[in-house]
A and B are shown apart, each in its own frame.
Chain A
Amino acid sequence: MNQFTNFTKGFIKENPVFVLLLGMCPTLGVTTSAINGLGMGLATTFVLVMSNLVVSLVRNFIPDKVRIPSFIVIIASFVTIVELVMQAYLPELFESLGLFIPLIVVNCIVLGRAEAFASKNTPVSSLLDGAGMGLGFAFALTLLGGVRELLGSSAIFGIDLVKGDLMLVFILAPGAFIVLGYLIAIINKLNKAH
């Protein structure tokens, strides 16, 4: 039961984007379409799961004083792996996510989970925590990307519903802030109702 909550808490109750407000830069930067949001979310999930696992495995060997730099090196290694693999096999997605792939290193969610959870818990719980948080992040990004894509270019996952563009401003920078603002307000309302 306990392991199960480790996994599910990341979706709604402690959703990294909507509730904890972490990792705002990629959230706003890449969500011009649902596909981009999903791609970024899954890339972050991979880094989060692997870094949580490794940090948890080495947590008893790393001296307390150098733990943050060590965590950063572990995270940066996995980010480099994602970067190279994506560049080789998914060049289009890599192109559209651009700068935000290397910036997974400074995503506060990854370092935050390493420090707050993985450095104190067993590998299995850390793995589940990373997967849950990562998928919660991916869910938030896909939702935000989906809403922006629907309002801005009247499409979902690249499939056109109506010909042409709708309100283009939602694809541009201001739309990201405004849609996220309303989504957080709605989630707050839902969380209160429960």
Chain B
Amino acid sequence: MEYFVIIVGSIFVSNIVLTQFLGVCPFLGVSGKLDTSIGMGGAVIFVLTLATLVTWIIQYYVLNPFGLAFMQTIVFILVIASLVQMVEIILKKVSPSLYSALGVFLPLITTNCAVLGVAILTIQKDFGLLEGVVYAMSNAIGFTLALVIFAGIREHLDLMEVPKGMKGVPIALIVAGILALSFMGFTGLV
């Protein structure tokens, strides 16, 4: 039950992109086409879960025992950056087909604030290891859901007649606003 609340809460009620504003850059950047948005979503689910797992272990077994909690920001960003590099290298060797699907998105993920954001949030919310991993994965799924829905809408939007000044980013932002409005309907679900 507890896990169910975490999962529904982070996918729908407090969706990471549409209510917490984490990962907005890739949300606007790679939502032009449906295929690329699915690829990006897959890469984010993979990296975000792994990064939260590793940063949780580092926080509780390295930073806290040695009284280095104030180094959190520096340590986490370095861990995430090297983790992404490592995933890239391992994936290239072990599974070339997965690499060709996710590879181009991996370097972009280091600067995706959703990854660092969720890693810090997991610590702030005092989750245990398993809860933290579930929390991270459901947030990543929420990110993918928002991204895929948004990409689908934008593909249709390209064919619409939009006032000249609103073309491109402005109309995309307003659509995102309306999407956020509809996600507000989930408020109070859990």
Instruction: Say if A and B assemble together.
Output: yes
Which B residues are CB-close (under 8 A) to A23? 25
**B137 on the A face (CB < 8 A):** no
**B89 on the A face (CB < 8 A):** no
Size bin of chain B's contact surface:
35 or more
| A169-B181 in contact given A102-B73, A178-B173, A181-B171 (Cβ < 8 Å) | yes
Residues 79-127 of A contacting B (Cβ, < 8 Å): 79-80, 83-84, 99, 102-103, 105-108, 111
A91 vs chain B, min Cβ distance (A): 16
A108 to B73 alpha-carbon distance, docked (Å): 16
**A73 on the B face (CB < 8 A):** yes
**B116 on the A face (CB < 8 A):** yes
| A17-45 interface code vs B (CB 8 A; 1 in, 0 out) | 00001111110110000000000000000
| A105-B21 in contact given A24-B28, A69-B78, A178-B174 (Cβ < 8 Å) | no
Q: Are B21 and A76 in contact, CB atoms less than 8 angstroms apart?
A: no
A142 vs chain B, min Cβ distance (A): 17
Name which of B32-40, B45-53, B58-66, B162-170 contacts chain A. Answer: B162-170
Which of A28, A105, A174, A185 makes the CB contact (< 8 A) with B77? Answer: A105
**B7 on the A face (CB < 8 A):** no
Instruction: Name the residue of chain B whose CB is nearest to the CB of A107.
Output: B113
Q: Are B177 and A176 in contact, CB atoms less than 8 angstroms apart?
A: yes
Size bin of chain A's contact surface:
35 or more
**B4 on the A face (CB < 8 A):** no
Which B residues are CB-close (under 8 A) to A72? 77-78, 81
A188 to B18 alpha-carbon distance, docked (Å): 25
Instruction: Name the residue of chain A whose CB is nearest to the CB of B111.
Output: A106
A185 to B166 alpha-carbon distance, docked (Å): 6
**B153 on the A face (CB < 8 A):** no
A79 to B113 alpha-carbon distance, docked (Å): 14
Q: Are A182 and B113 in contact, CB atoms less than 8 angstroms apart?
A: no
Q: Are B177 and A175 in contact, CB atoms less than 8 angstroms apart?
A: yes
| B116-143 interface code vs A (CB 8 A; 1 in, 0 out) | 1100110010000000000000000000
Give the interface centre of B19, B113, B166 by most chain A CB atoms within 10 Å.
B113
Which A residues are CB-close (under 8 A) to B73? 76, 79-80, 83, 102, 105
**A62 on the B face (CB < 8 A):** no
**B71 on the A face (CB < 8 A):** yes
Give the interface centre of B21, B110, B117 by most chain A CB atoms within 10 Å.
B21
- What would be 10 A-B contacts, judged by CB atoms less than 8 Å apart? A25-B24, A29-B20, A72-B81, A103-B22, A169-B181, A177-B180, A181-B166, A181-B174, A188-B165, A188-B170
